[in-house]
Amino acid sequence: MTVHTVFRRALLAGGLPGALFALWWFTSAGSTDFYLPPLSTTLGKFGEVWTPERLRSDVLPSLLRLTAGYLLAVVAGVGLGLVVGTGRVVRDVLEPVLELFRAIPPPVLVPVIMLFAGIGDTMKVIVIVSGCMWPILLNTVEGVRAVDEVLSDTCRSYGITGPTRLWHLVLRSASPQIVTGMRQALSIGIILMVISEMFASSNGLGFTIVQFQRSFAIPEMWSGVLLLGLLGFLLSLLFRFAENRALAWYHGLRRAQRNP
């Protein structure tokens, strides 16, 4: 890769965000609207508000809840997805129920879950799990159902059964779909992390943003929104990095099929 192509790529990827920021900067410059402060003010507050202590006391708890909820959702979604995808009877019985649960918007469940789980970390993790699980579960079911018949026969004839089959055949061949579900779940998870903290909390990113809004600290509030966007962007970069490593074979296979 030459310097030229690196530059070109950076320009293509960063061009539009840069332009939008510039637009925001210039249109908001000199704004006297109390609710829409100039971007320069917001950015100025950013460094003031998001100090290392604050990152530790408010951002870290949010990220820990997200991580716990997300990982639990992956385990539950993939585990249940394997059961539902493998057994036809289980699938016929469970699928309508699963579709129903999936259709309930998870934020609606926050007050309900609060009744049972209180307003602590448990509630927030449960909220995140209850929203993240569905895309992972349904995509896993699809992936497991699509395991190639010839490959399955090959495994049987070589006596590849039990856990070996589950790992090397079923999970690996369903992994592209599982990852698709996990990608959808990640953005749902971030949304639910914030929402659960807005309802009831004593710390966290969502809590802090609402506090700023209630105390009319508008530039501080905007800086929190910016941080949230940045966080989502970094997490998706991280996700893509992990995906490219785990699914290198899949992307290679797709390329090979496109240009035989």
Partner 1 sequence: MLDVQDLQKIYTGRHRNVEALRNLTFHIAAGELVCLVGPSGCGKTTLLKCMAGLLTPTSGEVRLDGRPVDGPPPGMAVVFQEYGRSLFAWMNVRDNVALPLRRKKLGKARERELVDHALEVVGLADAHQAYPWQLSGGMQQRVAIARAVAYEPKVLLMDEPFAAVDAQTRADLEDLIRRLWRELGVTVLFVTHDIDEAVYLGQRTLILSTSPTVVQEDLTIDLPDERDQLHTRSSTRFAELRAHVYEQIQRAKRHSGDVNGTQVADRMPQAAPTKAQTEVVGSE
Cβ proximity to partner 1, 171 vs 210, nearer residue: 171
Give the shortest CB-156-to-partner 1 separation in angstroms: 5
Query: Which region among 4-12, 38-46, 75-83, 145-153 touches partner 1 (by CB under 8 A)?
Result: 145-153
Using CB under 8 A, which of 151, 230, 237, 242 touches partner 1? Answer: 151
SS3 string of the chain? CCHHHHHHHHHHHHHHHHHHHHHHHHHHCCCCCCCCCCHHHHHHHHHHHCCHHHHHHHHHHHHHHHHHHHHHHHHHHHHHHHHHHHCHHHHHHHHHHHHHHHHCCHHHHHHHHHHHHCCCHHHHHHHHHHHHHHHHHHHHHHHHHCCCHHHHHHHHHCCCCHHHHHHHHHHHHHHHHHHHHHHHHHHHHHHHHHHHHHHCCCCCHHHHHHHHHHCCCHHHHHHHHHHHHHHHHHHHHHHHHHHHHHCHHHHHHHHHHHCC
6, HSE (Cβ side, Cα atoms, 13 Å): 3
| CB atoms inside a 10 Å sphere around CB 127 | 27
Shortest separation between residue 85's beta carbon and partner 1, angstroms: 18
Report the candidate in 98, 69, 105 with the shortest Cα–Cα distance to residue 182.
Answer: 69
Shortest gap between Cβ of 157 and partner 1 (angstroms)?
A: 4
Q: Is 249 in the site for partner 1 (CB under 8 A)?
A: yes
Taking CB under 8 A as the rule, does residue 156 contact partner 1?
yes
The residue from 22, 90, 104, 253 that contacts partner 1 (CB under 8 A) is: 253
For residue 120, the minimal CB distance to partner 1 (Å) is 41
| 167 touching partner 1, by CB under 8 A | no
Stretch that binds partner 1, among 82-90, 120-128, 158-166, 217-225 (CB under 8 A): 158-166
Minimum distance from residue 175 beta carbon to partner 1 (Å): 7
Round to whole Å and give the CA distance between 122 and 196.
11
| Closest separation in Å from C-beta 19 to partner 1 | 40
Cβ proximity to partner 1, 129 vs 147, nearer residue: 147
Show contacts with partner 1 in window 88-117 (CB under 8 A).
none
State yes or no: residue 172 binds partner 1 (CB under 8 A): yes
Q: Which stretch binds partner 1 (CB under 8 A): 7-15, 77-85, 118-126, 250-258?
A: 250-258
* Contact footprint for partner 1 (CB under 8 A): 148-151, 153-154, 156-160, 164, 168-169, 172-173, 175, 249-250, 252-253, 256-257
